[in-house]
Structure 1
């Protein structure tokens, strides 16, 4: 019931915000769609290789940075459905992955990003390292630990080992997101809905005009 309640509240809020209004007439950028299409491959990796210790990456934080929280919440729904079909998951497991690989990491990353914008300077490297790399890793790790704490480990898997596996997978998420965010900021900033040159590349104010000479002739 917890997973269902979290998903229902998040989807209702995302629909209420109507995030599709910010998408232009040409539709979302193709990297958003490509990343959504690639996520079922990483969400079900433990089932594909047949090992419960292998931890799937989240990828939700990168989608959050590219599309924003409301669109990410809605876009992750079909990702969960496709993962269920490809990895042969029942609907409860698909819902669990939607919440703990998608919704919770994205929401935690949103909170981390809000804190960085509130308390740290609006600097380019704060965005890349704070939101792209470290924020992604922290959000994914905390979501994984919360999932283990609330639901326990799968049968035959030691809980302590699973905690370590979630920690390592989270840093894989952070490295991937940080690298791509750095590339996008440099070459395609329009692909990042959470980035703005006006905010993170502030030009210094012009120097004040020099006073006119006051000496006598």
Structure 2
């Protein structure tokens, strides 16, 4: 198998997810306070994705931001926003459409979807508490989702193109903690000062008084 097979795999993963997200009509959420973080994401996130193209060759620092976006906007709105981010990366960057598609799937869609799954597990099995949200979903959940997305990408490339893992997994693990630190920090700030910018946060759930 060659790179064409990987391209078809990425399309097979990305298009159904996009259609599923759009079927939920996520643009309705833009009528409220989520318009501000959406516009901020469209203005800032493309430059994080373009960062490796601006650094010296061999120094590849890549941040995702998808987990934070999923926490702020919710998965249905985060997915099309990530598409718009990828289109900006394509317009302003040096990569071709196939490379940008790979970025959208593995740097955006995959960690956002894994973050959704981790959040669902925490809601199901862990008591509701602000500390669980900021540490579990914001920090540890981001580390696991970003690393998990990188792991899936590396195994897909190895399976379809025969590429070697080499030190890629170590790099993904280290980069995941950079995303985790930023996401956990912003989650804590938003919980304290702007909870309306977190679609996945609920005062009723996380700040309810203890039962007598």
Q: Does 1:123 align with 2:123?
A: no
Q: Tell whether 2:62 aligns with 1:56.
A: yes
Partner residue, 2:180: 174
Task: Flag structure 2 segments of 5+ consecutive residues without an equivalent.
Answer: 1-7
Match of 1:3 in 2: 10
Q: Do the aligned partners of residues 7 and 164 (structure 1) sit closer, same or farther apart at CA in structure 2, a change above 3 Å counting?
A: same
Residue 102 in structure 1 maps to residue 108 in structure 2: yes
Q: Which runs of 5+ in 1 are unaligned?
A: 208-217
Contact 2:33/2:197 (<8 A) preserved:
no
- Work out which of the two has the higher radius of gyration on C-alpha atoms and give 1 or 2: 1
Map of 1:22 onto structure 2: 29
Could you say which residue in structure 2 is the equivalent of 1:201? 207
Q: Which has the higher helix share?
A: 2
TM-score if structure 2 supplies the norm length? 0.89
* Match status 1:33 vs 2:39: yes
Using CA pairs under 8 Å that are at least 6 residues apart, name the structure with larger relative contact order, 1 or 2: 2
The separation in 2 between residues aligned to 1:133 and 1:51, in whole angstroms, is 30
Counterparts of 1:57 and 1:204 in 2: how far apart (Å)?
Answer: 38
1:53, CA displacement in angstroms? 5.1
In structure 2, C-alpha distance between the alignment counterparts of 1:181 and 1:29, rounded to whole Å: 17
Query: CA-atom RMSD, angstroms?
Result: 1.7
Q: Distance in 2 between matches of 1:54 and 1:92?
A: 19
Q: How many residues align?
A: 201
Residue 90 in structure 1 maps to residue 102 in structure 2: no
**CA deviations over 1:8-42 (Å, ceiling 9, x no partner):** 10110011111122332x67332332123211111
Partner SS for 1:203:
coil
TM-score, normalized by length of structure 1?
A: 0.87
Q: Residue 214 of structure 1 aligns with which residue?
A: none
Q: How far apart, CA to CA, are the structure 2 residues paired with 1:57 and 1:191? A: 21
Q: Deviations over 1:168-200 (max 9, x none)?
A: 110000000000000000111000000011000
Measure how far apart 1:50 and its partner are: 4.2
Structure 2 CA distance for aligned equivalents of residues 84 and 19 of structure 1:
24
Query: Quick one: distance in 1 between partners of 2:181 and 2:89?
Result: 23
